[in-house]
């Protein structure tokens, strides 16, 4: 197994930042080396530094950079993370005008748990009324995982028991220890790729609620401000933006007002 030199680490993380906007510090060198090792082997390049050189020089196939982004993007999450937001969502749904479609965007949806958690709340409160959830992520691999809707039971430890019964199917046989989101719920949730550091897909509508959680921590303040401004353009006038509880928007000078902890409105 070859090692990743400091020079190669700097080169590949600089390239990764230019594409994704995400900065990986020196403390991530071992993680980056480990995740690139398998990619390099699959590409027939046993030397990590040589593999990185091919990427940086643009001598690797175009799809190789997509695989690198998929591998270096952190995607660990679980259902109903930071449950205060789902409680707030449920309360807002109670006063939503009947017959008017309610739209939710999970803007950094990772493997889909956040989007499906929101969908469970929407289905519980609004039933068969008009509502949709759209999840977007930088990683094509994560989008594919989200579309399958198949998860380990460990990821579902925060799902209310009633929701587990109504919206999840327990795996058996080869899928023992897993759960599958019901088809009815999966049909109301759509996933696609999107890079928050670039122009967003033109087909995205305006949303009543946007989840932008636990992703801003990977960006510097300039990039954070760019992302939030871009996302805000798709928020309805009375809509709300949920951010991670460890993420502060205060230093960014944005036209947002705090409604509660990690809950923001326009203005």
The answer on pLDDT for 2 being more than 80 is: no
For residue 168, report the phi and psi dihedrals to the nearest 5 degrees: -130, 145
Q: Is 137 marked active-site? A: yes
pLDDT in tens, 107-149: 999 999 999 999 999 999 999 899 999 999 999 999 999 999 9
The 3-class secondary structure across 101-113, one letter per residue, is CEEEEECCCCCCH
pLDDT in tens, 26-83: 888 998 999 899 889 888 888 999 999 999 988 888 788 888 888 887 667 899 999 9
Catalytic hit among 49, 70, 137, 208: 137
Class for domain 6-72, per CATH? mainly alpha
Q: List the domain boundaries for the chain.
A: 6-72, 84-266
> Which pTM value belongs to this model?
0.86
CA 234 to mean position of chain CA atoms: 17
Q: How deeply is 18 buried, as exposed, middle or buried, from its count of CB atoms within 10 A (0-12, 13-18, 19+)?
A: exposed
Query: How many angstroms separate the CA atoms of 208 and 36, rounded?
Result: 39
Q: Is 35 marked active-site? A: yes
Q: What is the CATH number of domain 84-266?
A: 3.40.50.150
């Amino acid at each position: 197994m070859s090692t990743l030199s400091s020079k190669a680490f700097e080169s590949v993380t600089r390239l990764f930042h230019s594409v994704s906007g995400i900065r990986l510090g020196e403390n991530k060198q071992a993680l980056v080396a480990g995740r690139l090792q398998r990619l390099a082997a699959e590409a027939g390049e046993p030397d990590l530094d040589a593999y990185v050189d091919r990427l940086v020089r643009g001598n690797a196939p175009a799809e190789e950079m997509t695989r690198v982004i998929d591998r270096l993007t952190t995607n660990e999450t679980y259902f109903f993370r930071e449950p205060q937001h789902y409680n707030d969502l449920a309360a807002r749904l109670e006063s939503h005008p009947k017959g008017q479609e309610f739209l939710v965007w999970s803007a950094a949806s990772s493997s889909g748990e956040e989007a499906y958690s929101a969908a469970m709340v929407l289905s519980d409160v609004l039933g068969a009324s008009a509502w949709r959830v759209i999840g977007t992520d930088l990683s094509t691999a994560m989008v594919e995982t989200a579309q399958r809707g198949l998860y380990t039971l460990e990821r579902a430890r925060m799902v209310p028991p009633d929701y587990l019964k109504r919206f999840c199917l327990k795996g058996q046989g080869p899928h023992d220890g897993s759960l599958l989101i019901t088809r009815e719920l999966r049909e109301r949730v759509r996933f696609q790729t999107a890079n928050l550091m670039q122009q967003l897909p033109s087909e995205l509508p305006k949303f009543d609620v946007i989840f932008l959680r636990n992703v801003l921590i990977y960006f510097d303040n300039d990039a954070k401000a760019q992302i939030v401004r871009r996302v805000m353009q798709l928020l309805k006038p009375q809509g709300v933006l949920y951010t991670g509880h460890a993420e502060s928007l205060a230093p960014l000078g944005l036209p947002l007002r705090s409604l509660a902890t990690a809950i923001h409105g326009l203005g």
